[in-house]
Each structure stands twice: as C-alpha cells, then as structure tokens.
Amino acid sequence: MITLAELHDALPHVQAAPKTDAPIRGLCLRPVIGQRAFPDRITMTKAQGILGERWMTTPWMRLADGSPDPRIQVSILQARVMDLVWQDRNQPHPGDPIVADLEMSEANLPVGTRIQAGTAVLRVSDVWNDSCAKWKVRYGTDAYDWVRASPSLRLRGILCSVEVDGEVALSDRLQLLR
C-alpha cells in the first residue's frame, strides 16, 4: 500500500489535474452493496439518480421523510487519486460512478458549481465526501488519513445531485458550467 509520504509527494501532481474539460477515465455502477459493473455509459435522472445504481434503495444519507438525499446521487473521484491509492487491483474498485481527471478542490468547484457530464448536468453538493471505513480497509490507513486531512482539497472526490437528466459516456469530458 502507498505510504503517507508518497501521497504527500504526489499532491502537486493531483492538484495539477485539469480544472475543466476533464476526460472521464471510468464509469461504475453499484447495483447492490458489494457489486460493481463497468458500463460504457450511464443514465442519470433527477428523480432516480443513476439508473441501475443502489441510491434509490440503500442510500447512506436520507432526508427527514426517509427518501434518498439527492445531494449524494453521484460521486466523482479524481482519477489521479484513484491511481495512487488503488494499487492492488484485487481490492474492489472504489465504486464512484464517475472517475475523471478533474481538479476537485473547493477553489475550483465551489458548492453549487454545475458540471456538464455528457447530456446530464450535475450540481456540486455541500456534503463532504469524507471517505468511509471501507476505504481505510481497502487502501490503508495512510490513504484514508490523506484524503481526510484537507477537506478543502476534496481528495476523496465530490458528491453531486442530478440537475438535468441525461447520459454520460466514457468518451465524454466533464465541463464546468460557469
């Protein structure tokens, strides 16, 4: 597993990712807990999140009425972070539906920023993706501590709501709408 020193040394490379026009490096669906599928395209709707994804049935955040919280419909992980921490490909994929080479700091993507993802439009949430215990088990304590150490850098990625229904494909690029 990667060490904290190696992660700190890689931070300039992570922060040098494109600020927009970011290539998508991977798409992932989690139909149920513990399963992963890697399609060439995914469909997203404001009402149902990512079709085929477990957000509607087993979200980790709910609204007061018990319905899934739309602020966590889509997670996007920076490709450079994934490449650093997911070195043992026998470990499960992090599971983020979109992996893209995009710089994800609060400075680049303030809460409310809209992102064009194929024909869909996403909105950056105010919910911080602070990682989970599974991240620590799969990628190590150092990787877990590193992604949590500087919340403004959002090294674990961002969470978004779907603002405009659409489809995103591996061949698409993420564009910031300012």
pLDDT at 133: 76
17-61: pLDDT as tens digits: 999 999 999 999 988 888 899 999 999 999 999 999 988 888 889
Four-residue CA torsion sign, 20, 31, 38, 171? negative
Is the Cβ–Cβ distance between 3 and 85 less than 8 Å? no
pLDDT at 32: 85
**93: pLDDT strictly greater than 90:** no
Model confidence band, residue 64 (pLDDT cutoffs 50, 70, 90)? very high
Cα 81–28–154 angle (5° rounding)?
30
pLDDT at 18: 98
Model confidence band, residue 15 (pLDDT cutoffs 50, 70, 90)? very high
Model confidence band, residue 134 (pLDDT cutoffs 50, 70, 90)? confident
Non-local CB neighbours of 113 within 8 Å, separated by 6+ positions: 123, 124, 176, 177, 178
**88: pLDDT strictly greater than 80:** no
Mean pLDDT of the chain: 93
